[in-house]
Structure 1
Amino acid sequence: MTGRDLRALFGSNNPRVEADEAFTNRESQWQVFVGALDSHLRHVAGPGFDAADLEAPRRNLLVFHGVGGIGKSTLSRRLEAALANAEHRPAQWGEPAWHGPRIVPVRIDLARSANTDFERVIVTIRLAIAAAVGRPMPAFDIALRRYWDHQHPGEPLEEYLRRDGLMARFGQALPQQTQAALGEVAQGLALPGMLGSAVGQLTGALVRALREHRRSVAALAGCPRLADLLEADTDLEELSYYPHLLAWELARLPARKQIALVVLLDTFEDIGDRTRRDMERLLQHVVWLMPNVFFVATGRNRLQWADPALHGQLDWTGPAAWPGLADRGLPASRAATADRDGRRQILIGDFSDEDREDYLAHRLAVDGQPLIDPALRRVIAERSHGLPLYLDLAAMRFLEIRRTGLTPRPADFDVDFPALIARTLTDLTPDERHVLRSVSLLDAFDIPLATASAGISRDAPVLRLLERPFIRHAPTGLWPYHLHALIRSTLRTAEDTTDDRWSPRDWRNAADRAHIAVGQQWAEHTGPGRRPLIACLRQGLTLAAEFDLDLGWLTEAAWQYVSDSVWEPLTPAQRNTDDGPRLRTPAHALVELLSTLGRRQHEHRRTTANRLTAVINTGLLPQELGQMARYYLAKAHRDLGHSAASRSEMRQVADGGGRLAPAARRGLAHLARLAGDFPTALTVAGTLGWAGRQNRVLGDIHWPQGDITPAADHYQHARDEAEQHGIAGERATAQAHRALAMAFADPATAESELALAHHLLTGLTLHATTLTVHIAHLIRDAGHSTAFHERAQALRTETETAGLTSLLPLLELAVCFHHAVRGDDDPLTAAIHRLRRLTTDGDHAYLAEIASFMGDRPTTPDARPVRWLEGEATVRRRWRTLVTERSATASGHP
């Protein structure tokens, strides 16, 4: 069954537009309800159940809670309709297998707009029973009539029912049954002809008769607390205990009259707040005192009845009293296990992708066909993040645009709806609204971060806000809380028309507080791992870039980010133009710098060089961060084979004397090595120390001499130093180079070295180092014909794609080594020729000489001279020996 939506119906002149109140699946919530109600029915039918038991734990309450507009009221109405008439049950819900008495639903809307007070709640429940059972409930009816005559003198109950519309909804059964109950008791007490005006005399006589255990009132004597209730003051507090009488009456109905009453309490959040619980306490009395009635509460907030701290505000509290309410709301993904686990508090989640489009397809239609076309439905569905309220507002916007004579387009729905803000903030206190706006600046947060961002001195508003369903909880996260994505987006971007809206200055002040608080959490973190660093950097960069904040702690965090050479992706928000990111402030420049460094492992080095050049040219970064950009630009140039440009940038960084000066001097040593000037490279290396990665540089100098053992030892020392300093990226790089050197000399030993290199690379994104390891695998397998050339070609393609052209000569040397070991003269000649073509600019030209040494061939007369450490003859002999030794071990292979 779908109800007519009058707003949409009156939003178009086209009478063919069908505006239905669409309802999507919600099958998981139905299954939870079916399971919980079935458990309740079996419990009530059990031999040990007593409706008058005031101490047993209560499991007769199911709570569905979620953000405003998620579809709670629609679910409540559909549950009532499905229980009242099987024809109104959605087909996908399936037929429940209940056994027992007839189910009677009654839904009570607690919304402020419905003007539902506690008296109306009690009367409505009694009316539903009256309509279903068709007989008096003497104990309750007499107490209610006594209360009514005292609290509403001169206003008969039937007149109230008629004026309030309840008689039209439930009929005239209650007044008739109440009068019959009074007459029955009056006759038993020999007080015939009793009128409403004499109810006080009747109840007095009834109390005396109960106290004296007269046989004339034996039918009511089984209700031991009736006399006490009839003697108590007639106020709302007393009225809240009357449901005990109603539960007792329901329990003693004959089998043919038995019913299973289901009371649906909707809009539960409107009965008060977390500090004023008067109405909530009265409703809790109803639920507790009617254990044979099943209650379903729907509202924005989870119920706190299982919290022992509420003792005194509510009368029955704690997990022993409400075992099913003890956990924070069970998420939708686990709702199917609710009945099995005894959970009775369910968080209603967002619509699935399919449900979003299904909602829009049925929301507006013409002649049974969806009015919104499929492409536009997909756009709106994605934008909604599954929030039904957004889908509904989007449908209304669709009609508004059509009224102007235009055709709605996807761009028309790239908006946020201010109504979402109003619905979200409506039942929050001013302090909670302040905290909500503050944490909307953050991707995620914890309690201290939220309190500091809001600039308040106490956690109470934060703790209250965490109870709200639009706050999502992820216990395993660094910061365990985050806002519903659409609500966060709306708070940040939609026009805020509320009375306490923030000005741009308010937002910037909050962003500054949040930025400082995030930095303090990073500075105070002393545990292992880079997770806090990356998380704080992402949040801090986003805030600084959006609100043009000073860099502050971000400078030191940026140095920490690059020092480990791990390169996790950083993807903070960034404004873009057609030509690339818009760099207007130091924060924007830093975002682009760190993002570029993180992405360089995944894109061509030419792209990296262009982006770093753009950052440097802005002049926005402070000098020390500008040196960082220049150093990595020099590395990109070196990887691209632009040695002159690399040397110029490295020299500027080295002369600047900043933090990267030792690394720049190492870069200069590498450039000297690339040019074949090994003595100069060795001299520079001796000045580097750990900061300049001296041992790794020495390894890079020694293995081209064919002096493998000292090279491998230097790499091992470099790896150990990196481990001592906790630099994971440097440790993996040193080990990769050690495996490369060992692969030339000892394939068996290289196997374990390569395995360790792969292990140390786990979790790191170091593209060049990874390719070095793959080249080392080729060198280890040199002399074997199995797929060698296919593997080499695949590596060429990958290296060229990444823009790591500086690795191509090393890869070609591995191919030369393979042919030299096998004695393949022509292929070796071709490989040496390719290697010489790759090194025509002079960089890595010494590798072509080494290839000639491997094949015991003369060097080319016009080749650029190489300054070896111990003379050409010694180096030639070493490389030729490595080839002949490998040939001897590889001769047994095909």
Structure 2
Amino acid sequence: MSGASSTVTAQRVFTNRVNETTAFSRSWEGLHEALDAAEISPVADRLQGRRNVLTFYGVGGIGKTTLSQELERRLLAEAAAEDRDDVVSVRIDVSEDGACDLEGMLLRLRAGLGQLGSRWPAFDLALASYWARAHPGEPLQEFLDASPAVRRASRSIGLGEQIAATVGQVVPAGAGGLVGLAHHAALATYRAIRERVREGRLLSECDLFAELVEADADYETLSYFPYLLAWDLERQPRRGRAGHRPQACVFLDTFEVLGNRADRTVEQFVQRCVYLMPNVLFVITGRNRIDWADHATHGELDFTGPECWPNLHFSNTTAEPRQHLVGYLSDSDADSYLREAITRSGEPAMPGEVRERIIAGGQGLPLYLDLSVSHFVERLAREGQPSADHFGGSFTAVATRSLRDLPREERDLVRTTALIDRVDADMLRAGQPALPDGCVARFLRRPFLTHDDAYAMPYALHLALRLAVSEADRALPDGWSDHDRSRVAARLLRRLGEPLGDGAGRVATAQALESGLKLSGAHGVFDDWMVWAAQRLVEAGQWTHLDAGLTDGAAGSPEYRAVRTAIRGVKLRRSGRAPEAVAVLNGAEEGLAPSGLTAQLVRLHRAHALRNTGDYTSAADLYRGLVEGEFDAAARYWLCDHAYLNGRFAAALETLRGQHGRDAADEGERLRLIGHVWRVNARFDEATGVYTEAIALAREEGLASAEAKALANVAQTACWSGETATVSEAANRARELLDVVSNPVELVKVRSAEAVAAALADDPATARNAVADTRRLADGIGYRGGHNLADVAEILLHALAGDHDGARRTRSHLDERTRTSGGNTYWVPIVTSWIDGPDAAAEYHPEVDWVDGPGPALRRWAEVTGLR
């Protein structure tokens, strides 16, 4: 450090924790002996208690991460010494941003296990089925390359190629669709896999495989995929003369991050992974004892109680693997560490009296010893032999001395690093723009920084040191005030958002937003890029885990709290709990500037929630307030939709014709809404033409959901023209896509179209069944508009049968329902044209602005049925 030649040598030392390393060895050997001796594999028998979790817990700075890393190093070194290639490990620090994203975690597990061989058919085929539906248009390879941690793990074994090869053996034509080709190839792959599963020709011996392929493509389904990995692992060929079974160990570090969350959804997913992979040893390190064996966690987690985790119960003190409290180092071990950490000509460089002061103050805390060694080296370089008086004291005192040892510029860099989970040189320069590059480079070589190039920002301070630095800094003459911290945090926050241009991937966006929200909640700073990032992730359907683990943020600004509330509202609305979403979002604008971007975000999602509850009028009021604001395009589209719902057809058409979508998905929505206007005006040729254009656009862009919607609309149009073959073809094609990209609202529309087609084809029994199905499907998802479609088909059946009283009774229900919701009122004059003729029908809802007047429109509707 002094730059001069010296006989002093500093080196990293691992103080041998005999009990812990012995526990690991016994756990590793015992797990595989039990697997070899089992009459029924615990992978197949999911009721067996799990004995595959070894836990080390203790206070921050006690050396849990170092212990975990050393256990992994020894495991792999011993396997290499025995020339074994059937032992692999996977390391995940769950505190890192994005580390607990379930997709990324499972792909890191799959990449780690992929070192054992390239064939993992159950997992890879199920993943292909999931990916085609959950990520329409996004090649898997793009996702694999987006996160540094996933990219490094996947590239080491060619994960994308492995998965493509597995899929290609089953569906050669679709092999590229998952990894990098057009979305329709991926969908074709899914359909082919699904059909082979239904016919019992694909992995029928793998329990759960068929269920998981058929299930909805969401995180709930994905959280059971570890079972498939365990099943595939069990079928890997044994190796070597001894016939060893392939063995895997997963190290989960900083686990307290999950246990400390009020919402334990992420921990629930991780626990499922551990439970469903009983043939893998999981080594969990964290500050807290895990409580999975406690019955009190029932309802928060799936697998709870000593029956599920017999070795994790507090009463178990002998059987491995189990839970171990990581204790402080003994005085003897601490002295050995200090003697070996820094030497002069092979002898301890640190005098005995200095070691005694450090041992007395640190009481065996390894991080305390590390900082003391760094302080000793600094003193040695500056002043010669340090005095014992310079050592000892509390952990905060040691942190204070370590800060004082640094030049002023580097003290500011430490303070900057303590504000955020991870940094790189660019982030540090953003936080301290006045410092030269050389100062930043020197700081990054400091021994108290950890480095892991699996992450885009590879440097970090130990969490305990981050907290100690914040406390110690207040005692220094040049310490930062809260205002100083907020100013630097604001610069860091801006830097986090800089890479998030139009080309930024979902993973990078989600990780930046997660880091940004933590900074915002802790230091009262905010930046508008977080609003755009949240909206982008919501639009992409990636909203499920955004609010997990975020605290209320004691220093959080109103904008921070509003974004968190908006994300929660989206989560409620998308999960079918729109009334709860409205209640949550109602007070979210408190303290915000009415014209601010965050307030507009809240209003936009409150409007969406109101619309989902059927309150179109209140939703429209909010959309109007967003016109000419940041969400102008979305507001104008939904106002056009409201105009259409209320029969202001000419106004809706004029606005829609003057617009163009921001992207292919938006343009498809615009085309479809134009088609809706033509359809309810009985201008069926124009409607079909626009819907056909929307279908072509969706196919070109690989937008399966948009194509399914447009096909359902074609069926809704063709049914009024008596084109039963067209209805059947469009309905079948829509259902194929909806089997891939679930959208139950469109299934309601398809079934109502089939009801109309059957009624006009003089098949009342089939029509009645279809009407009943329409109502049942609508009730199942809380879709009130589905009953409007069912009423229309039912009124048609009554009218065709000459039952005008029955038709009028149903019309009365339809009129009441549409008036209450503030939309779809145009259906009342339409059905009246079948009962009382077009002239009488014009008297109902005269405010409806038919595109070419009420007379022509209602005559067309009357002629459609052949009744007038």
TM-score of the superposition, structure 1-length normalised?
0.47
Larger Rg: 1
TM-score of the superposition, structure 2-length normalised?
0.48
